[in-house]
């Protein structure tokens, strides 16, 4: 479902626009344009048929001025260095928007996880971890799940790291199952944070949640949880899709039954209680809220003028290109940009990291109430900047984030 526009070009373009807007110090601007560190590793593993294949893995630290590097690991055929640098940069801004003490990182392995067995994925994960064993660490770099990675893969990373250092270290990675030091509420956190941000926006616009119709592109952990939570809050989820296609029912879909169908069949496509439709058709549906929660570059200048949703909440990273952004703005659409709309995941990862360091764990209600407080405050801060400076929500997010990271860099100074 990925698009062709280079995510790094988009990330740099967004940075350049905000630098101009806030008259950012050129030296700071130049440092933001380049990541602190990039690691490229070779990952040879023995496949189940006995042959050996060599995969390429990446890990990028964009900026660690505000704390350890934090960011997900994705397994996808299209993973490349430019994409990982862009995603790491977005993580820097995302952590700063919600004001948690991390810098931005991202990682990935260029592979097709859908064509690999569990045993092959385990060997791949453990070798990738061992190649970066001196990079990862609870005070240096804390990975998390991303596209096509999950709590099991995070458990393998934690185990590989722990065996290497000689003791159990749960805080080296987040997004783990609770049985090995994960936090309650982490699986739903990104979708839940997105819905918290939507509630805040709807309140500002004077709209009720139970009058909204919702379409969700991408029915993975983010899309499913966002859909399920917003449906429970009173909205009508009328369409969802995954990489194989989508399903539409104007009277509403039962998200839990749909998830069960996908678990059994491998896709929402073909769900009996709705009509099949393509990912492209879903984006252009008549609905009030669109949640793109799949991959980058889904809303482009080619389809932005056909988006009918009044509100777009970016569950995915970088689903809207800058050209599409401009078109949507001209058409009066309301955008909840990714660096706030999907920041619930990294915020709850922060909670997991803290709990792991202290070996003291919280109830799910505590996790969710702390998440709501942080998301609500971040939204208010962004809304205030957007209103004061008469800029878009995306620009307001960047103004807030870039100023926070810039301040940290200036206070720390240049070494040596």
**pLDDT under 70: residue ranges of the chain:** 1-4
Rounded Cα distance between 88 and 85, Å, is: 5
Contacts of 275 (CB under 8 A, 6+ apart): 247, 248, 249
> Which residue among the candidates 70, 94, 106, 176 is catalytic per the annotation?
106
Alpha carbon distance 17, 113 (integer Å): 36
- C-beta of residue 95 within 8 angstroms of C-beta of residue 70: yes
106 is catalytic: yes
Q: Alpha-carbon distance 401 to 407, whole Å?
A: 10
Residues with Cβ within 8 Å of residue 61, at least 6 apart in sequence: 35, 36, 37, 38, 69, 88, 103, 104, 105, 141
Q: Which domains does the chain have, with CATH numbers?
A: 7-184 (3.40.50.10860), 188-336 (3.40.50.720)
CA-nearest of 313, 317, 240 to 281 is 240
Of residues 290, 142, 147, the one with CA closest to residue 220: 147
DSSP structure string for 121-167: HHHHHHHHHHHTTTT-BTTTEEEEE-TT--HHHHHHHHHHHHHHHTS
* Positive/negative CA dihedral, 79, 143, 279, 315: negative
Tokens linked to 196: 């918290």
Handedness of CA 328, 331, 332, 333 (dihedral sign): negative
The tens digit of pLDDT for each residue in 172-222 reads 999 999 999 999 999 899 999 999 999 999 999 999 999 999 999 999 989
- Per the CB < 8 A criterion, the answer to whether 333 and 305 are in contact is no
Quick one: DSSP state of residue 278? -
- Rounded (5°) CA angle 310-311-314: 145
Count Cβ atoms within 10 A of the Cβ of residue 175 and give its class: 0-12 exposed, 13-18 middle, 19 or more buried: buried
Please give the model's pTM, rounded to 2 decimal places.
Answer: 0.92
Residue 124: φ, ψ to 5°: -60, -45
pLDDT at 4: 61
Mark residue 83 as left, alpha or beta (left: phi above 0; alpha: psi -120 to 50; beta: remaining): alpha
Q: Nearest to residue 174, comparing CAs of 133, 132, 146?
A: 146
> What's the token pair of residue 200?
């805040």
- Residue whose C-alpha is closest to residue 79's, from 124, 123, 32: 124
């Amino acid at each position: 479902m990925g698009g062709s526009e280079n995510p790094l070009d988009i990330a740099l373009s967004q940075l350049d626009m905000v630098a101009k807007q806030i008259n950012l110090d050129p030296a700071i601007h130049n440092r933001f344009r380049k990541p602190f560190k990039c690691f490229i590793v070779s990952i040879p593993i023995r496949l189940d048929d006995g042959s050996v294949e060599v995969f390429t893995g990446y890990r990028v630290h964009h900026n660690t001025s505000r704390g350890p590097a934090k960011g997900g690991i994705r397994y996808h055929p299209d993973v490349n260095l430019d994409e990982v640098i862009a995603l790491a940069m977005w993580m820097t801004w995302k952590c700063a928007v919600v004001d948690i003490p991390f810098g931005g990182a991202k990682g990935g392995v260029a592979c097709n996880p859908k064509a690999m067995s569990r045993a092959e994925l385990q060997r791949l994960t453990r070798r990738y971890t061992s190649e970066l064993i001196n990079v990862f660490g609870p005070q240096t770099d804390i990975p998390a799940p991303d596209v096509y990675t999950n709590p099991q893969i995070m458990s393998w990373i934690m185990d590989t790291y722990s065996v290497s250092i000689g003791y159990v270290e749960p805080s080296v990675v987040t997004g783990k199952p609770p049985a090995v030091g994960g936090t309650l509420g982490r699986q739903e956190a990104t979708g839940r944070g997105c819905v918290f941000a939507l509630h805040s926006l709807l309140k500002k616009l004077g709209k009720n949640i139970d009058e909204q119709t919702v379409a969700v592109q991408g029915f993975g952990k983010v899309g499913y949880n966002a859909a399920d939570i917003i449906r429970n809050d009173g909205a009508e989820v009328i369409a969802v899709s995954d990489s194989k296609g989508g399903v539409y029912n104007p009277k509403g879909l039962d998200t839990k039954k749909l998830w069960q169908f996908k678990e059994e069949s491998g896709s929402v496509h073909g769900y009996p209680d709705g009509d099949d439709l393509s990912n492209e058709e879903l984006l252009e549906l008549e609905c009030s809220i669109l949640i793109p929660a799949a991959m980058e570059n889904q809303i482009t200048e080619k389809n932005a003028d056909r988006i009918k949703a009044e509100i777009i909440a970016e569950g995915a990273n970088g689903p809207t290109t800058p050209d599409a952004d401009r078109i949507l703005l001209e058409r009066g659409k309301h955008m909840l940009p990714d660096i706030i709309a999907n920041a619930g995941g990294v915020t709850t990862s922060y909670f997991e990291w803290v709990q792991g360091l202290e070996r003291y764990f919280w109830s799910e209600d505590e996790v969710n109430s702390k998440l709501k407080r942080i998301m609500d405050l971040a939204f208010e801060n962004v809304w205030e900047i957007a209103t004061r400076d008469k800029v878009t929500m995306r620009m307001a997010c960047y103004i807030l984030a870039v100023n926070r990271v810039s301040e940290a860099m200036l206070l720390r100074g240049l070494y040596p």
